[in-house]
Structure 1
Amino acid sequence: MFQLEKFSLKDKVSAEEWQVRVDLAACYRLVAEHRWGDLIYTHISARVPNTDHYLVNAFGLTFDEVTASNLVKVDLHGNILDGSPYTINPAGFTIHSAIHEVRHDAQCVIHLHTKATIGVATVRGGLKPWSQYAMFSLASLSYHGYEGLAVNAEEKQRLQSDLGSTNHMLLHNHGGLTLGPTVGDAFMRFYDLQRACEIQMDLLQSGQPVIEIPQEIVDGIQQQANVVHSGETGGQKAWPAMLRRVYKLDPSFCE
């Protein structure tokens, strides 16, 4: 039986690493609160500042059990560092390592298997510009074809190529992915992608005709989205409020 060990790393790591641990643990709790998780599967990873080391969830924990201290530190190959008592899901870290390897601007990568993102990633045509939420994602969106479990080096290269410089990805028949320069940015980008996909699936299921937005307006909003939904007016602005929410839900995440 998997035992949940309780210990604190707060005074054993740098202040910078501890803050990333707190933010990442909070992100896991928010994903659990929104019911975007997948039992003990899927992952959110974050780079430890000024290193090539990464934090990811321990394999066997549900997202509402993740804390700042039980996050596991690994290198790009998934090797566990600093003597953590936990293991990780090596196959699950493959996608994250592929992205961290080439996107040095991304501190955080979120990859989840939500019904909405799987649905939109699986229908022909992908994400449609049918809501304002979609505009935020469409401004920087890519797609990656399904090749089975992402465990081989060749697919990693294709994933990297498909992602390019975008910050949102839909993986056909698989799910959604976002990345950002902070945990907060990556979370808010996934929030927008998830909302856009939920709205699209609801509209498709309604069977009612959709009011199409003229392309010139779509183009204009996408340009605005690149500015308005980044930096201080995007994840970094919203993240303190998200942290307050998690503290209210269960402050044990920061232990």
Structure 2
Amino acid sequence: MADAFLKPARFSDEEWQARVQLAACYRIFAHLGWEELIYNHISLRVPTEKPGECHFLINPFGLHYTEVTASNLVKVDADGNIIGNDDWPINPAGITFHGGIHAALPDAHCVMHVHTTPTMAVCCSEEGLSYTNFYAAQLWNQVAYHDFEGITVHPEERDRILASAGDKRVLLLRNHGPVVIGQSLAHAFNLMWLVQRACEIQLASSALGALRQISVPVLESCVRDSLNFNPKFGAGEDSFAALQRLIDRIDPGYRA
């Protein structure tokens, strides 16, 4: 499958591999219904040998997720400056926290943000995420919150977002939507999957009445036993690879 799409000479092997994986992720999001017209963002740090350099890939602004390909992803620095001669602009709202997170956290290799109905609904609720279901239990003590300040296009909000996130991998933007921070693309994807499913179940179960609580010791046990985030078990690489194979069967054009 990969042999049908040749790597352009301007990209290193490492950068091209990152581009293909990120383009696949955009198609996976579209397949799952996690896209939002031409908006929202998934960013991935570009592998580099230059110390101190922080470049990452992000979607071209104006394209639907099903139009994103490995070659049309835009490379930018932490301040949103486009690196190279890309034909597409980028969404300023994607730079405020993506650039700040990539620049401030060395192991923040992938950052994802969505506006799905269940996740936004939970972000709009006073309680936020309720640790009352199988999926939410695996996120115990890993979620932070940031108060809504409007559309994230103002650079001065960057430091406040970073302060709100602290050392947490999941940041729920109040009245807005979730941000997840992964040590790899697969790690971030599996975090987002947990957030999405936890919010779906929370909305469905809340409609039935009072939610049954889970004790703190059990919640702590769930976090320890959530092996899909353990590097010894691939940190989610296997599940992401399965979805990438699915996308390859449907539309491998993302590899172009």
Do both share a fold (TM > 0.5)? Answer: yes
Question: 1:239: how far off?
Answer: 2.2
Where does residue 231 of structure 1 map in the other structure?
231
After TM superposition, list the pairs within 5 Å mapping 1:1-255 onto structure 2. Answer: 10-50=8-48, 51-204=53-206, 206-225=207-226, 228-233=228-233, 234-255=235-256
Decide which moves more: 57-66 or 142-151. 142-151
The answer to whether the 8 A contact 1:46-1:109 is kept is yes
Residue type matched to 2:145 in 1? Answer: Y
Question: 1:40: how far off?
Answer: 0.3
Question: 1:218: how far off?
Answer: 1.5
CA distance in 1, matches of 2:232, 2:180: 18
Residue type matched to 2:131 in 1? Answer: P
Residue type matched to 1:31 in 2? Answer: F
Task: Count residues in correspondence.
Answer: 247
Question: 1:209: how far off?
Answer: 3.0
Residue type matched to 1:97 in 2? Answer: G
From the superposition, tell whether residues 186 and 132 of structure 1 become closer, same or farther in structure 2 (CA, over 3 Å): same
CA distance in 1, matches of 2:58, 2:238: 24
Q: Unpaired segments of 5 or more residues in structure 1? A: 1-6
Residue type matched to 2:66 in 1? Answer: D
Identity rate of aligned residues, in percent?
A: 39
- Pairwise CA RMSD of aligned residues? 1.7
CA distance in 2, matches of 1:160, 1:141: 13
Question: 1:139: how far off?
Answer: 4.0
CA distance in 1, matches of 2:253, 2:220: 44
The answer to whether the 8 A contact 1:8-1:69 is kept is no
The answer to whether the 8 A contact 1:127-1:138 is kept is no
The answer to whether the 8 A contact 2:138-2:219 is kept is no
The answer to whether the 8 A contact 2:26-2:65 is kept is yes
Alpha-carbon displacement from aligned partner over 1:6-31 (angstroms, at most 9, x marks no partner): x9753320110001001100110011
Residue type matched to 2:210 in 1? Answer: P
CA distance in 2, matches of 1:40, 1:33: 15
Specify the SS of the correspondent of 1:133: helix
Question: 1:117: how far off?
Answer: 0.9
From the superposition, tell whether residues 87 and 69 of structure 1 become closer, same or farther in structure 2 (CA, over 3 Å): same
TM-score (norm 1): 0.91
From the superposition, tell whether residues 44 and 95 of structure 1 become closer, same or farther in structure 2 (CA, over 3 Å): same
Alpha-carbon displacement from aligned partner over 1:118-138 (angstroms, at most 9, x marks no partner): 111111221111111112223
CA distance in 1, matches of 2:135, 2:203: 13
Residue type matched to 2:220 in 1? Answer: D
Question: 1:228: how far off?
Answer: 4.8
CA distance in 2, matches of 1:240, 1:139: 28
The answer to whether the 8 A contact 1:136-1:229 is kept is no
CA distance in 2, matches of 1:198, 1:104: 31
TM-score (norm 2): 0.91
